[in-house]
Structure formats: C-alpha cells, structure tokens
Amino acid sequence: MPFIYSRTIRFQDTDAAGVVYFANVLSMCHEAYEASLAASGINLREFFSNPAIAIPITHAEVDFFRPMFCGDQTLIQLIPTLISDQEFKIDYQIFVGNSSDRSLSQAHTRHVCISPVIRKRENLPEMMQQWLKQWSDSEAD
C-alpha cells in the first residue's frame, strides 16, 4: 500500500516564473519520505544521526508533466521497492489535490545502506525492511 503525503505548494518552492523550481520537487519528495518513516514509527532524529548506518541517495531523477503553482494542493504518492539486501528505490508520483489521474510530476530515488565509518555497504536494518514492507506496492510483488 503506497504512502500518501499531502502538501501545499509554498511561495518558497517557486522560481521567478511562479512555478515550482525543479530541484524543489526532490525536496518535497524527501519530505514525503521523512513523513513515511515517521508514520512507520521510526524516530527521525535517531535515524538521521545514527552512527552505525547511513542510507544516502545514490541516484535521483524527476520528470515534469504540468506546472505547479503556489497554493496548489498536492498529494505525493511514495512506493518503495527493495532492490537488494543493501538497496532500495522509491517511486514518487505528485498529483493535483485528491485526483490520482492528473499527475504533475514523478520522481525516482535510489538509496544504499552503508556504514558511515568505513563507507562500505551494509544490509538494511530491520526497521527499514519493515518500512519497505509497509509501503511497498503489494500488487507488484
């Protein structure tokens, strides 16, 4: 079941033309990622300052279909997929309001779990395996 994050486009998200600045779409997606972690019971302070593991983004891409403007109500749908014991990807779809048939943008991020001390890959911790199970698209399994 995908995670859904509701967000209003803010003035600070836009550029001089009045539309969402391209890099801010990834920031909005990361907000949705953080909200999904918290909704799974993961303590964000501990997660992002964990000395034993880090889960950096190793790839990101965004596609735009329609402009987004200040004040627009959006829904960001997040679906994570396990790639290996150390990696996962997240697919995001951004929709207008409560309409899942009018996609504004899509984004994809790829994450890898590492030891921040030795910078070597590590298996995803149990809390992340549970997070993946909770929000993955069960129809894709």
Sign of the CA dihedral with 51 first, then 86, 131, and 74 last: positive
Per-residue CA distances from 9 to 3, 102, 107 (Å): 19, 16, 16
Task: Out of 13, 15, 72, 137, pick the active-site residue.
Answer: 15
15 in catalytic set = yes
CB 71 within 8 A of CB 9: yes
Q: Which of 119, 106, 58 is nearest to 84 (CA)?
A: 58
Catalytic residues: 15
